[in-house]
Amino acid sequence: MEKIIEESKQGESLVLENKPENTKKLFIESYGCAMNFSDSEVVASILSDGGYNTTSVLEEADLVLVNTCSIRDKAEQTIRKRLEKYNAVKRINPKMKVGVLGCMAERLKSQFLEEEKIVDLVVGPDAYKDLPNLLAEVEEGRDAINVILSKEETYGDISPVRLMSNGITALVSITRGCDNMCTFCVVPFTRGRERSREPQSIMTEIQDLWGKGFKEITLLGQNVDSYLWYGGGLKKDFVNASEMQKATAVDFDQLLEMVAVGFPKMRIRFSTSNPQDMHESILHVIAKYPNICKHIHLPVQSGSNRILKEMNRLHSREEYMALIDKIRAIVPDASISQDMIAGFPTETEEDHQDTMSLMEYVKYNFGYMYSYSERPGTLAGRKMKDDVEEETKARRLQEIVDLQQKHAWFRSEEFVGKTVEVLVEKVSKKSKEEFSGRNSQSITVVFPKENYKIGDFVNVKITSCTSGTLKGEAVGYSEMN
């Protein structure tokens, strides 16, 4: 499971700068994880070159696209409601075309076109370059579908248009797909096998962002720690690489160091990590460079060894705890966040208590917690009975959330009295007199504006906190400016 973009951003549609020569209008919405939002930027770039300007007004669009998520049933239900809305508008504006992109497109394939007849085109995560051809098919009155998963496609040659941008932070995709066949997860089936993007294309994209004034990037992938470039191709085929390819291969700690050294005044984050792939060498790179943020999102999903085995997680409880100890030793000021699933098939009360005790051991800064939702097509969906009662799932989830809230308070209070570096991202929601940004540990910090501006790196002395927000006063610019 992957970190989901915050709730307020779900379904957000932003307008880009128009090209005067473009005559058609594109309305594009994104749901789900950061990878989907990053992919929408690739799509917007492809269609901008194909004559489309973006619009936030659904009713005036020639083309409506929704980039979808299949991670939980709730996400799919949200998309279906949006498709109903699109089609209500389409009845008024029959020339409007509707398309589904992303993981739900990959999972349901022709069902949207043939059975439900609610969209004109269906495009999987590896087929966005085929959009101009698919749209031409639609214009000729034919339904269009391309959900073929690629062994090579990384979109390394596309310069993404920044749809979600505040002009300060940006997502940079470095891998696609996943080889970890967790039994609850649809990603390997909707995004294909794991492959990495050519390092120089990543550096070129970051250089472009730096030139445009961006101050922070997040290196993005389903599993960034297993990044491996050896000239192209799937990670699983690396065993067949030549001696020269193996000798010149670039792994994640090397890429992370390349970016940190190449852009010393730019903040670098990464997401998502998998416990079995996070090697000690990565931790030493994080510790060495001050511009690499001290936050590690480290999904665990359960604290029970029996459930971890049922989930096909390739780590044990003990191995996970040993990795936590290593992080604390090498990067002592790192914040750690989690993903947790309550009520996985066969989960007992003892298994649940193992999860609670693991949380007590780690005391995470924050987390993303869900009750188990059976996903059709996954191994768990095919072979395991969803046998934990819904009310039991809900109660266990609430206990996990309550414990996380307690730990979040504990971790927030550790910052009180300390001075932290904050990248100013926006005006605070609660007061126009305050700025909001994040520190290196990805904790939100608010402080009085004074004469600072969005995009500044500011040292802030923390005076108080809530479980999720630090409050303080600016004491000057940081060395990152």
Closest CA to 423 of 459, 388, 387, 471: 459
Q: Which residues touch 386 (CB under 8 Å, ≥6 apart)?
A: 345, 372, 374
Residue 217 backbone class (left: φ over 0; alpha: ψ -120 to 50; beta: rest): beta
Distance CA 342, CA 396 (A): 6
Is 182 within any annotated ligand binding site? yes
CA-based R_g, the chain, Å? 22
Is 293 within any annotated ligand binding site? no
Distance CA 121, CA 180 (A): 30
Q: Within a 13 Å sphere around the CA of 50, how many CA atoms are in the beta-carbon half?
A: 20
Q: Which residues touch 310 (CB under 8 Å, ≥6 apart)?
A: 183, 344, 345, 346, 380, 384
Phi, psi angle pair for 433, to nearest 5°: -90, 0
Strand partners, 472: 462
Q: Within a 13 Å sphere around the CA of 76, how many CA atoms are in the beta-carbon half?
A: 16
The residue assigned the tokens 């600072």 is: 452
Residue 343 backbone class (left: φ over 0; alpha: ψ -120 to 50; beta: rest): left
Does residue 78 have a cis bond before it (omega within 30 degrees)? Answer: no
- Decide: 354 and 304 in contact? Cβ < 8 Å: yes
Q: What is the DSSP letter of 456?
A: -
Q: Distances in Å between the alpha carbon of 138 and those of 96, 126, 322, 402, 477?
A: 11, 19, 54, 50, 54
Is 465 within any annotated ligand binding site? no
Is 185 within any annotated ligand binding site? yes
Annotated binding site for [4Fe-4S] cluster: 33, 69, 103, 178, 182, 185
Provide the annotated binding site. 33, 69, 103, 178, 182, 185
